[in-house]
Every structure is written in structure tokens, then in C-alpha cells.
Amino acid sequence: MDNMPLIDALYEIVDKNVVSFHVPGHKKGSIYKKINYIKYRKNIFNIDTTEIPGTDNLHFPESVIKKSQEIASEVFNSDHTFFLVNGTTCGIYASIMSICNPKDKIIVNRDCHQSVVNACILSDLEPIYVNPSVDFNSGISLGVAFEDIKKALDDNEDAKGVIITYPTYYGVNIDIKKIADYVHNKGKILIVDEAHGSHLGLSKFLPESAIELGADIIIQSTHKTLPAFTQSSMLHVKGNRVDVDRLKSFLKIVQSSSPSYILMSSLEMAVNIYKNNGKELMNSLIKNINDIVKFIDNLKNIEVFKMKGQDITKLYIITKKLKKSGHEIENILRYKYNIQVELSNPYGVLLVCSIGNTKEDFEKLKEALIQIDSEVGDKDLIEINYPTVIPKKILNPRDAFYSCKKSIKIEKSIGKICGEYLIPYPPGISIISPGEEITKEVVDYIKKSKEMGTNITGIKDKNLEYIQVID
């Protein structure tokens, strides 16, 4: 047989039966077995088709796709719902472009996904960043405060709107309702990147979805926390502030002209499971999560991050007392216990739990954690602090992106204008973006993160010896 390295790697993971505490939410298809979803246990190759009589057209839906989107809109209580086959990224692009014109301003939480900055490059926009607070014990962002969004709007009356992440990658909740009310009082539009919140409507024990809290446009990665296939997302519109026709025109630009019917059908399947089985499955999941949290609370050296109102399906385990970085713990879980987490950072690991997880998954996690908890390292961890000051913006993202650049030693870059991204991945949040002044705080953070095992993307030199600056 011909050498097929990607397929071989994928089936090796399947054959090893790796326990999934990462996205996608269907957990290697286990949810379809849970509910005996026969249609999606058949050969999916059979339904990989294109626009032919009977299959409709995503960009001009008139029949089955139109009806499917209407069903999704009813289930998620939106006024309009659009299927996305290029991920939440394309939904963010289209949303921002639909409310802004070139040279406009938009208020952005600094811990936004890199797609927001990319949208500013594509649209030639001026992002006005709002810094989040940071929990230094866990090393994670706690989201932005209402007061800071308010100040940014008051200081930038000409901004067209606000885009904000809710909940954060780590499940942190912020006051979307209060923010939405103020944004609307200012006559602006609120876009919410709810990539990690498509499941929120399934339980009263979870934060409310931004759809219910006053947001105008909500983009959800249905594949992350519900059982759609990777890259399939949905965009919801609520209320009458959004020019839906203009939004549609940009969706046609940023989505493939050959949309995958497998991805679209997986969205329909996820909506169906959400509607008919979602609450029961979520109740079971929450019981398992409460049980594992109680279990971890009785361990000596491992703790669970807790915050009022958080999304408890995001299980962030802090490992500092073990004197081991989260990256080390991720490797131990994967290669010793056959458990894969969503991400690791210097101080812990994030597990994304979904309605696809089983009780057996959590039992295997318990077995691993009780052993890991007893094996404390012999060296103190490197102290590393998330940068708290937003780098000064010298050029807007688009001007910086198209400027001439040169590579210099990263140690000599302090004070220069950055020509590329520095993005610890996951979760894909930029520490510094093109057009911003490089600071010592950023350089120190990136170098220490790399030393502790964090993967840094967006930069040309993977060894982090050189960085691109504006020439």
C-alpha cells in the first residue's frame, strides 16, 4: 500500500483508543454510539456530494439547507442562523466586515482569537484593545470587565461596535448582558465570539448563551463542544440591528464555493442531538464533572480552577504544586495513561468535557491523577507572568502586514515594531501582533514559555532566535 502518513497517524490514534478530553465534542464518534445514532454510523463517504438537484446551495439556500438552518435557528432561539463550513474564523471575518467599513474602529478584547486581528488586516480596521485581568496562580486570562469596555466606548465614540470572547477558552464568564445594554445604548453592535459556548443552553448550571443575553451576532464552534465535525460552526443573529443582507454578502466571500455536505449535515445532526438528547446528556456530564472535581479536591498536589459562574465543562487542572509544568503533565497523561487533554500551559492542563464523554473516561482520568498526584518533581518551576500591559500600537495591523520586514535577534528587538505574530498555541491568543512595539515583558514571556514547552506559532523562526520587525 502507498505511504499515507496522515491517514496512518489518525488510525493509530483510533486503534490505541486514546481517551479524548479535547475537541471535537463528539469524542471520536462515541456520542453516536451513546444514542444509537444509526444514520451517522454508516459510511460518510456516501454523502460527500455537491450542489446537484435535491441538495440545495449554501450560498443561495431555497430548500433543504434553508429548512435545516431554520430548524437550527428555532432550536437556538435566534432570528437567523447560518451554517459555516470554514469554521468560526470565517464567521468572525464576515461579522466584523458586515458592521465596519475600511478605516473604521472596533473595540476588541485583547485576549481575542487571532482571527479577529486577521479580520482587521483584511478589512483595514483600527482595533481598540481592552486588556483582560489575569489570574497569576493559574496563568490564564479572566476576561474583560464591563468598566473597561465602557471606557473604551466612551473614549472612541466613532467605533462601529464591539467584539468580545465569551466564555473564554477556560470557561470564564463575563457580564455580557451589562456590556450588551451599554453597547446598544451607544448605538453600536455587539459581536460575541462564542466559539466555546455552543452547549451553554443545555443546563441551568451553565452560563447563559450570549444569544439570550443581548448580543447581536453570535458565532459558535459547534464542533468544539457539540457533536458536529471539525470546522463546522454556526452564526446566529438576534434582533434587528444587523444588516442581514450585508452579512450574507460577506459570508459568500469568506466561505468556500464548494461547501462540504458532510460538514453541513454534521451541523444538522448536532442540532438534532442538542434538541432531542442534549439536556439528558448534559445532566449526566455535569454529574461526572462534579464527581471528578470532588475527587481532585481530595488530592494533595493537584487543584481545579474555580470561579463563580464559570462554564464547568472546561476543567482546568493546576499542577504547580507538583513542580511540573502543564506541558509535562500533558505528556504524562498522553504517553503513560492514553489520555489526551485540550491544551497545556506552564501551570496546568485544560480538559474540554462534552456530552460525548463517558463515565469510563472520567474513571480512567481518576486512575491517572491519583498516581500523578503522588509524584512531585524535585525542581521549582520557572516563574512566568502573563504580560499585563498591551504593547503600544505604532501601525495598524494591515499597514504592518504589508510593510517591508527584516529578521533580527530577538534580544535586540525590544523597542522595534513587530512584523509578525507571537502566539502561544493553543489557544491561539496573540501576545503581540504586527504593528506593535516589542517590549521586554513580551520577549521574556515568550522565551520562558518556549523553555517550558509551549508551542509558539505565527513566528517565522521556530527556534525563537530571530523575529521579524518592520524595516
Domains recognised in the chain with CATH numbers? 49-274 (3.40.640.10), 397-470 (3.90.100.10)
The beta strand positions in 138-232, using DSSP E, are: 140-141, 161-165, 189-193, 217-220
End-to-end CA distance of the chain: 50
Peptide bond preceding 397 in cis form (omega within 30 of 0): no
Position 206 scores a pLDDT of 98
Give the H or E element holding residue 181.
Answer: helix 176-185
**pLDDT-derived band of residue 451, with 50, 70 and 90 as boundaries?**
confident
Instruction: Decide which of 378 and 69 is more confident.
Output: 69
**pLDDT-derived band of residue 406, with 50, 70 and 90 as boundaries?**
very high
**pLDDT-derived band of residue 459, with 50, 70 and 90 as boundaries?**
confident
Q: Three-class SS of residue 42?
A: coil
Position 35 scores a pLDDT of 77
- Read off the pLDDT of each residue in 429-441 and give the average, rounded to a whole number: 90
Torsion of CA 458, 459, 461, 467, to 10 degrees: 180
| C-alpha dihedral sign at 409, 412, 413, 414 | positive
Cβ-in-10-Å burial (0-12, 13-18, 19+) of 39 comes to exposed
Give the H or E element holding residue 278.
Answer: helix 278-297
Residue 41, pLDDT > 60, answer no
Residue 333, pLDDT > 70, answer yes
List alpha helices for 338-439, DSSP H: 359-372, 397-402
Q: Three-class SS of residue 117?
A: helix
**pLDDT-derived band of residue 389, with 50, 70 and 90 as boundaries?**
confident
Residue 427, pLDDT > 90, answer no
| pTM for this predicted structure | 0.93
Position 446 scores a pLDDT of 86
Cβ-in-10-Å burial (0-12, 13-18, 19+) of 306 comes to exposed
Cβ-in-10-Å burial (0-12, 13-18, 19+) of 52 comes to exposed
Residues whose CB falls within 8 Å of the CB of residue 328, separated by 6 or more in sequence, listed in order: 319, 377, 453
The pLDDT tens digits of the residues spanning 251-286 come to 999 999 999 999 999 999 999 999 999 999 999 999
- Read off the pLDDT of each residue in 393-414 and give the average, rounded to a whole number: 93
Q: Do 308 and 287 touch, CB atoms closer than 8 A?
A: no
* Cell matching residue 191: 459581536
Residue 462, pLDDT > 90, answer no
Position 134 scores a pLDDT of 82
- Read off the pLDDT of each residue in 60-89 and give the average, rounded to a whole number: 97
Measured CA to CA, the distance from residue 460 to residue 235 in angstroms comes to 33
Look at residues 175, 172, 141 and name the one whose alpha carbon lies nearest to residue 388. Answer: 141
The pLDDT tens digits of the residues spanning 150-174 come to 999 999 999 999 999 999 999 999 9
Look at residues 458, 393, 461, 399 and name the one whose alpha carbon lies nearest to residue 429. Answer: 458
Strand partners, 303: 318
Give the distance from CA 192 to its chain's centroid: 12
The pLDDT tens digits of the residues spanning 26-37 come to 887 778 777 776
Measured CA to CA, the distance from residue 62 to residue 134 in angstroms comes to 47
- Read off the pLDDT of each residue in 72-77 and give the average, rounded to a whole number: 98
Residue 409, pLDDT > 90, answer yes
Q: Do 303 and 317 touch, CB atoms closer than 8 A?
A: yes
Percent of the chain with pLDDT over 90: 73
Measured CA to CA, the distance from residue 324 to residue 380 in angstroms comes to 8
Residues whose CB falls within 8 Å of the CB of residue 101, separated by 6 or more in sequence, listed in order: 160
Q: Work out the number of other CB atoms within 10 angstroms of the CB of residue 376.
A: 12
When mean pLDDT is compared across 167-176, 297-306, 399-408, 448-457, the lowest value belongs to 448-457
- Read off the pLDDT of each residue in 369-380 and give the average, rounded to a whole number: 90
Strand partners, 129: 108
**pLDDT-derived band of residue 136, with 50, 70 and 90 as boundaries?**
confident
Instruction: Decide which of 213 and 135 is more confident.
Output: 213
Residue 215, pLDDT > 80, answer yes
Give the single-character DSSP code of 51.
Answer: S
Position 429 scores a pLDDT of 75
Angle at 203 between CA 201 and CA 207, to 5 degrees: 65
Cβ-in-10-Å burial (0-12, 13-18, 19+) of 399 comes to middle
Give the single-character DSSP code of 422.
Answer: B
